């Protein structure tokens, strides 16, 4: 009987190669051309994308990326690489890192694993809560890459890990560390990345998965209902997205007497533009400018020990 040779593919969303308009434009074009992300008809979306969105947003986002860029590169890439190396050290099997958009791409990562002769592939997407716009987009690309192969491995694809005890424990540990450092706030905000409400109406269960994470974290921390709140961030475009919007909530809270908040973004496995710039810079200014006094951002799990151990546990469950 053949014994499987197992390989692991670690996947994150991706990031521009540099904080420049050219690099950001290249990344955005690939990202916003995916029908899982923007599902408008091509005849309608492509003129808008190429004539309006890319010229305007590429310049603006390049400027924002430059404010968070680390010496080693984009924060998301830096932390993803650290996660990859830590996971590789703890597992005695081949591991590769691939990004859904940008570099290193999924095709190259899969080719590397296949060149190692793997017969069983475990795919761990670093999206804790499933959405058709993220996890399913990875699924599409994996299938596309393998469509050119004559021989493919057996595949275990992790849909998400929104309720996994080790994930909840890592979040709890992170929040408790922040409470110990800064004191317990008036309110803990859990800000998840948003998606269009229309996606939910069409069957995407992402909000439910976020809510399940939220409830488990709330119970794990023994917080009362008025001590923790679920919100959604990073709205793009003009159609309604799932609510409540983080930005709107931060504007209202000071008028309700809530002046001290801490905020964590559980849907991000690595710190990135949406956490370091949108939350920790833009949203901080909104809260303080609306009358708030204390705003502390709780970093993503990144390459923390509890996070890496969670990844190891997830992989070993399927070896």
Residues in the annotated binding site for Fe(2+) = 193, 274
Helix axes 165-182, 305-316, angle to 10 degrees: 180
Kindly report each contact of residues 62-67 with a partner whose C-beta sits within 8 Å and lies 24 or more positions away, as own/partner.
62/16, 62/19, 62/20, 62/21, 62/23, 62/24, 64/273, 64/277, 65/16, 65/19, 65/24, 65/273, 65/277, 66/19, 67/277, 67/281
Q: DSSP label at 21? A: H
What gap in Å lies between CA 297 and CA 258, rounded to an integer?
Answer: 16
From CA 135, how far away is CA 242, in angstroms rounded? Answer: 18
> Closest by alpha carbon to 46, among 58, 36, 56, 34?
34
Please report where in the chains the tokens 């430059």 appear, as a residue. 66
CA distance 87 to 83: 6
The backbone torsions φ and ψ at residue 125, rounded to the nearest 5 degrees and listed phi first, read -90, 135
- Choose among 115, 102, 114, 112: nearest CA to 141: 102
């Amino acid at each position: 009987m053949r014994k499987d040779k197992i390989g692991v593919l670690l996947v994150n969303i991706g990031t521009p190669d540099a904080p420049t308009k050219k690099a950001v434009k290249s990344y955005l074009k690939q990202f916003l051309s995916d029908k899982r992300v923007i599902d408008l008809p091509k005849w309608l979306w492509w003129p808008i994308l190429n004539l309006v969105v890319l010229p305007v947003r590429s310049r603006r986002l390049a400027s924002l990326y430059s404010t968070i860029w680390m010496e080693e590169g984009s924060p998301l890439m830096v932390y993803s690489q650290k996660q990859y190396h830590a996971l590789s050290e703890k597992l005695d099997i081949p591991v590769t890192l691939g990004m859904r958009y940008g570099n290193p791409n999924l095709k190259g990562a899969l080719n590397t694993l296949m060149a190692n002769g793997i017969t069983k592939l475990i795919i761990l997407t670093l999206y804790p809560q499933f959405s058709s716009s993220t996890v399913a987009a990875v699924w599409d690309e994996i299938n596309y890459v393998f469509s050119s192969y004559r021989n493919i491995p057996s595949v275990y694809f992790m849909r998400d890990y929104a309720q996994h005890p080790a994930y909840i424990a890592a979040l709890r540990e992170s929040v408790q560390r922040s409470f110990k450092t800064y004191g317990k706030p008036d309110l803990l905000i859990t800000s998840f990345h948003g998606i269009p409400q229309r996606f939910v109406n069409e069957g995407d269960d992402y909000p439910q998965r976020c809510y399940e994470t939220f409830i488990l974290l709330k119970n794990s921390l023994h917080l009362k209902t008025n001590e923790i709140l679920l919100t959604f961030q990073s709205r793009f475009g003009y159609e309604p997205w799932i609510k409540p919007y983080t930005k709107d909530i931060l504007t209202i809270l000071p008028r309700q007497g809530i002046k001290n908040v801490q905020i964590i973004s559980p849907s991000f496995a690595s710190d990135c533009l949406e956490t370091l710039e949108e939350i920790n810079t833009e949203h901080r200014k909104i809260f303080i400018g609306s009358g708030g006094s204390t705003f502390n951002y709780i970093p993503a799990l990144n390459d923390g020990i509890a996070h890496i151990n969670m990844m190891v546990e997830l992989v070993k469950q399927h070896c």
